[in-house]
Structure 1
Amino acid sequence: MLRSPTLPSYAETRAGLAPIAPFGTYPMTRRQRLARLVMHERLLGRGRLRRLAVSWFQQGPNIVDGLLFGYRVRFHPRDNQTDAKGAVCGALYNRRELHWLRRILSPDATFVDVGANMGFFSLYAAQCQTRRILAIEANPTLIQRFQETLSLNQPLPIWTISCAVGATSETGTLMPRYHDLGSGQIAPLSTEASPSDHPALIPIRPLKDIVIEAGFKQITLMKLDIEGMEYHVLERPTQKSAWSGLSMLLIKSGLYRIAGRTRANLLLSRKKPSMIGQVSSF
């Protein structure tokens, strides 16, 4: 079910849940504040010292409150790398990708964040004044944390949905990786196992169905980062294929061009003359 961006304030009690602790309940340690002072929104956040600063930051409490893109965020740096890097580096983390978002997004744009994690890109899209943002995340813990962050701020135009995205509607299970909540993969349910063998069942839905339910008539820009399962979202494969193979398929179709490359991502843009209703993804 889609969650309205008009979320209750942190002081309200939601059904079945305790009131959200006010912002500032989880202060940073002196060491964490120092790491942010040196790295946050500074050029050092791009260099080799970043890994050391992030590791330093992760040695503090598991929950800390801080600002990101001007929004109040409840970070969980110990079990989520995106939380740790975002808290320490801010906009210098994924700098080139964020610059690309800012050039494309506008108040009239629609942004779909597939694999939203703790909401890093969705929050940045909100800072770009984008009024329609859809954040999709399969991990129930991460989406609940993101909703808590949203509740700590004034209402933002971000709709959240807790599910995985795939070629068909089915159910899967979340497989954690690397002790990092943001790196989990969705695996299909084994037909031989009973439901009790899968305590964390994750609904899987086609992207088209989710977007239509959200009322989006077109997608201006889409971020797609679901740990190697991207091909399940954009095509119905007959066999497992790599993301690099899928990207080449999109380019060979003649509809997309490579707009840029970063260390971790490929930036694709819809070719002219179809600039109206442009669909971009990375």
Structure 2
Amino acid sequence: MLFSPALPPLTEIRPGQAALASFGSYPMTRRQHLARMLMHERPLGRGRLRRIAVSWFQQGPQIVDGTLFGYRVRFYPRDNQTDAYGAICGGFYKRRELRWLRSILSPDASFVDIGANMGFFSLYAARCHTRKILAVEANPVLMDRFRETLALNEPLPIWCVSCAAGATSGNGHLKPRHHDVGSGQISLLPSKKTRAGQQAIAIPIRPLKDIVQDAGLRTITLMKLDIEGMEHAVLDTYFRDVSPMLYPRHLILERPVRREAQQALEHLLIASAIYRISGRTRTSLLLSRNSC
């Protein structure tokens, strides 16, 4: 099993951090309870009304405690869309991706979550009893929040790595977009200060090969990549640097917004006959290896 070496026991306080507040310290408002009751794990959670429910939910406190896939989760809905939609919709958010994931994962499987955000897919993989889960997130704020959620539950087989996956090693800085802490791009670390006059926070960038090998993975059943348009560069380098034994059997990829990026990604994975398309959703490509 893989357990995060960075995950502290419930009683341990990490340097510079306050003691973990007990679950339930951040209750939902009545309006949030109502929105969740109507949408959570219900068909309405994938309908048009969910945007209104999410808007209701985001007008509440900055932090709320709730459950997701049976786990205790500390949600931050006001500045993270994934938190908001996960809290409201549960499994009906990314429903098709989760259904495909569930059909693949098993206790003997391994799941690699690149761009883990608040841990939505990693927690679902744990609910599928997957015993090897690697969660990689570049934003240290999101990683700290995910570790906080993990500390609220019994130990889970999730190894957390706080870094960005890149083509080469180095440092970068994160540019959040759309007032959403879960959406941003990594760029090379500038030598000058940012426009706001503050020094950019260094984010370590590591090749995907190094991340996977350091985790001790010998095979990968399923890999999910959501790294804001960097999928092609990261996978191109990865496939050239590792043995085919480490090619994921299945991939969930965020569909690139730019047509050129989508064509490059499909040429790398599909035209080369390494993978075939198993499905498409509004935001994702579901791929399976042809040799599987």
How far is the alpha carbon of 1:188 from its aligned partner? 1.2
Q: Could you tell me whether the CA contact under 8 Å between 1:135 and 1:158 is conserved in 2? A: yes
TM-score by length of 2: 0.88
Report the CA distance between 1:18 and its aligned residue. 1.6
CA distance, structure 1, for counterparts of residue 219 and residue 121 of structure 2: 19
CA–CA separation in structure 1 for the residues paired with 2:106 and 2:157: 13
2:33 and 2:53 map into 1 onto residues whose CA distance is 11
Structure 2 match to 1:75 = 75
Alignment of 1:209 with 2:228, yes or no, is no
Is 1:234 paired with 2:235?
yes
Distance in 1, matches of 2:227 and 2:85, equals 18
Q: How does 1:52-201 map to 2 (within 5 A)?
A: 52-190=52-190, 193=192, 198-201=199-202
Label 1:226 to 1:86 Cα distance change in 2 as closer, same or farther (>3 A).
same
1:9 is displaced (CA, Å) by 3.6
Judge conservation of contact 1:228–1:243 (CA < 8 Å) in 2.
no
Q: Distance in 1 between matches of 2:227 and 2:64?
A: 26
Q: Which runs of 5+ in 1 are unaligned?
A: 276-282
TM-superposition CA deviations, 1:240-276 (whole Å, max 9, x none): 95144212321011110000000111111101xx32x
Cα deviation, residue 227, structure 1? 1.2
The whole-number CA distance in structure 2 between the counterparts of 1:178 and 1:6 is 30
User: Superposition pairs for residues 38-57 of structure 1, below 5 Å?
Assistant: 38-57=38-57
1:258 to 277, 281, 284: 277
The Cα offsets for residues 60-105 of structure 1, whole Å up to 9 and x where unpaired, read as: 0010000000000000000000000000000000000000000000
Report SS of the residue matched to 2:60. Answer: coil
Separation in structure 2 between the aligned mates of residue 182 and residue 35 of structure 1, nearest angstrom: 22
Quote the Cα distance in structure 2 between the aligned partners of 1:8 and 1:249. 40
Alpha-carbon separation, structure 2, partners of 1:264 and 1:43: 19
Q: Which 5+ residue runs of structure 2 have no aligned equivalent?
A: 239-257
Q: RMSD value over aligned CA atoms? A: 2.0
CA shift at 1:52, angstroms? 0.4
Displacement after TM superposition at 1:169 (Å): 0.3
Equivalent pair of 2:115/2:227 in contact (CA under 8 Å): yes
Task: Compute the TM-score of the two structures, normalised by the length of structure 1.
Answer: 0.91
Question: Structure 2: how far apart are the matches of 1:247 and 1:154?
Answer: 40
Structure 2 Cα separation of the partners of residues 228 and 41 of structure 1: 30
- Contact 1:28/1:65 (8 A) holds in 2: yes
**Cα displacement string for residues 20-55 of structure 1 (whole angstroms, at most 9, x for unaligned residues):** 000000000000000010000000001000100001
- In 2, the alpha carbon distance for the partners of 1:108 and 1:219 equals 11
Give distance in 2, aligned partners of 1:11 and 1:27.
Answer: 22
CA–CA distance in structure 1, aligned partners of residues 227 and 24 of structure 2 = 31
Partner AA of 1:33 in structure 2: H
- The amino acid across from 2:104 in the alignment is I
1:269 paired to 2:288: yes
